Amino acid sequence: MSILTAVAFTCLILLPVYLLINHQIASLPLPPGPKGKPIIGNLSDLPPPDTPEWQHWLEHKKRYGPITSVTILNQPIIILHDAQIAIELLEKRSLKYSSRSQTVFVGEMIGWKDTLGMQPYNARFRAYRKAMHQVLGTKALVSKFNTLQELEARRLLRRMLEDPGEWVQHLKTEAGAIILKIGYGYDINPHGRDKLVDLADDSMETFSAVMNQVWLVDLVPVLKYLPSWLPFSAQRKSQFWRTQLLTTIETPYRMVREQMASGIAPPSYLSNLLQEEDTKEEKTLTAEEEFTAKWTAGSLYIAGADTTVSALRTFILSMALNPAIQEKAQAELDTVLGPHTLPKLSDRDKLPYVNAVVKESLRWYPVGPMGIPHLCVEEDVYDGYRIPKGAIVMGNIWAITHDPNIYPHPEKFDPERFLGENPQPDPSGWVFGFGRRVCPGRVLADASVFVTVGMVLSAMRISLEKGDGEREEVRFTPGVVSHPVLAGLKVEARM
């Protein structure tokens, strides 16, 4: 028997087995969820625009269990509310779950498909990750930026002292200054608003808002061809937001290109990708390499600042609500470093309680409570449930960080949970994403948050403004990146 005959004979024998297995998988049920209506499925079961997604899906967990599903116009959406399930699927089976769903409106028409976070798992994505890992992938690499992070944290304190009522804007300025210096070698306007900081802030605000909505063109893709003058055309809305995104990406890119042509470009992530390391001469890049340089720098610029600001706003809020915890962290700083010494990143190991405050801020309200949806690229089965190829899979990070089996009394802000002989799990295991889609800037973000938290605690006192009547309830904005909203927070110098 020839080799070809043997192979053909083997395939003939295995074909019925393959068909039988596929039939068995296809006959399995989807994870539990509400019963859908004809044609539209569970369209009415999606989160309302003004409701945080995690809050909506948490009701499904309570009703249906740790893995749930809905189907919208034949599109399955699987939600994972349990840490072990998320780790099993999104990390251990990451080859099946590392891609992204390509939305028509947000991805194609606005253009977010070209950013790192929305890239499908392909050669371009791997090139993106490789480029960013070479600069931000390890603590040793990120430590090169410690001096910059400490400098901008000190400048933050000065702005807070000069104009404490604008503390949210000051956080945005600090985060933007760090990212823009690393990404483009750009020094922000030290006085007042900066155009590049505002560009990134506006673009990320748009992304977070549009990702939280259902767009008709995603359900009926042919609508993308309708002319913009029609009142219900998706072109009308997408054109403005596409221009906004491209302006945000192109403006700092062109700035660095012009500086390189004049021989005055400072060292940066982007200039390092565009020029030879030894001679500093401009590299001859392929179109794809140039695209990678432009969009990875832009992805770092847009997303990096907003996520850091969200974490720091949660920290400020938690200190105002928990003055005893704030005082304990300040006492540690005063004891270890002295009352007139600002902490550095090199002091981190000497400040376990302050470090625990950082961890608890990330856990208590994670920056991206639902993350960015994953895409299943191959039929799969989990615990007797079918996860179809093409299913959108979402990890409910908020549900995981508030699972009482992992974090007892999860609603309580308690840094002590990360101290002692049996500390609870470090939330960075889930709040930065899963598997091959974990945030590539997580080490940089963690360092920025720590040094800012430490310096703010050293120099400032955070409290609730005293007023008449009941205090406003804490709210969090819906969207991919969520921010706390609470009026009446006061940030002032420690006396």
- Residue range 405-432: mean pLDDT, rounded: 96
CA-to-CA dists, residue 203 to 23, 206, 297, angstroms? 45, 5, 15
| Helices 442-459 & 352-364 angle (0-180, nearest 10) | 120
Q: Under a CB-based contact definition with an 8 Å cutoff, are residues 237 and 217 in contact?
A: no
Q: What are phi and psi of 147, to 5 degrees?
A: -60, -40
Residue 392: pLDDT over 80: yes
> Distance of CA 215 to CAs 20, 39, 101, 110, 116, Å?
38, 17, 14, 12, 22
Q: Which CATH superfamily groups domain 31-493?
A: Cytochrome P450 (1.10.630.10)
Q: How far apart are CA 436 and CA 338, in angstroms?
A: 42
How much is the average pLDDT of 250-263? 93
Q: What is the pLDDT of residue 276?
A: 67
pLDDT at residue 342, as a whole number: 96
| Sign of the dihedral through C-alpha 492, 201, 428, 300 | negative
Closest CA relative to residue 490, chosen from 463, 457, 459: 463
* Paired tokens of 279: 């001679």
The pLDDT tens digits for 102-125 are 899 999 999 999 999 999 999 999
Q: How far, in Å, CA of 29 to CA of 68, rounded? A: 11
Burial annotation 410-428 (CB, 10 A radius, 16+ → b, else e)? beebbbebbeeeeebbebb
Tens of pLDDT, residues 25-48: 567 999 999 999 998 999 999 998
Q: Which of 272, 256, 307, 380 lies closest to 116, judged by CA?
A: 307
Q: Decide the pairing of beta strands 75-80 and 385-387.
A: unpaired
255: tokens are 């700035």
**Whole-angstrom distance, CA of residue 157 vs CA of residue 174:** 10
Amino acid code (one letter) for 298? G
Confidence of residue 225 (pLDDT cuts 50, 70, 90): confident
Confidence (pLDDT) at 23: 44
Q: What would the two tokens of residue 396 be?
A: 């409910």
Confirm if 152 and 305 have CB atoms less than 8 A apart.
no
| Segment (H or E) for 219 | helix 216-219
- Output the CA angle 240-241-243, nearest 5 degrees: 65
Residue stretches of the annotated binding site for heme: 439
DSSP state of 9: H
Binding site as annotated, residues: 439
What pTM does this model have? Answer: 0.89
Instruction: Give the pLDDT score at 10.
Output: 46
For residue 282, the cross-strand partners are 275
List pLDDT tens digits, range 439-474. 999 999 999 999 999 999 999 999 998 765 556 678
What is the CA 347 to chain-centroid distance, rounded? 27
Domain ranges for the chain, please list them.
Answer: 1-30, 31-493
**Residue-level pLDDT at 13:** 54
Tally Cβ neighbours within 10 Å of residue 43.
15
What band does 330 get if pLDDT is binned at 50, 70 and 90? very high
Torsion angle, alpha carbons of 215, 221, 222, 227, to 10: 40
pLDDT band, residue 172 (cuts 50/70/90):
very high
- Report how far residue 392's alpha carbon sits from residue 101's, in angstroms, rounded to the nearest whole number: 7
**87: DSSP letter:** I
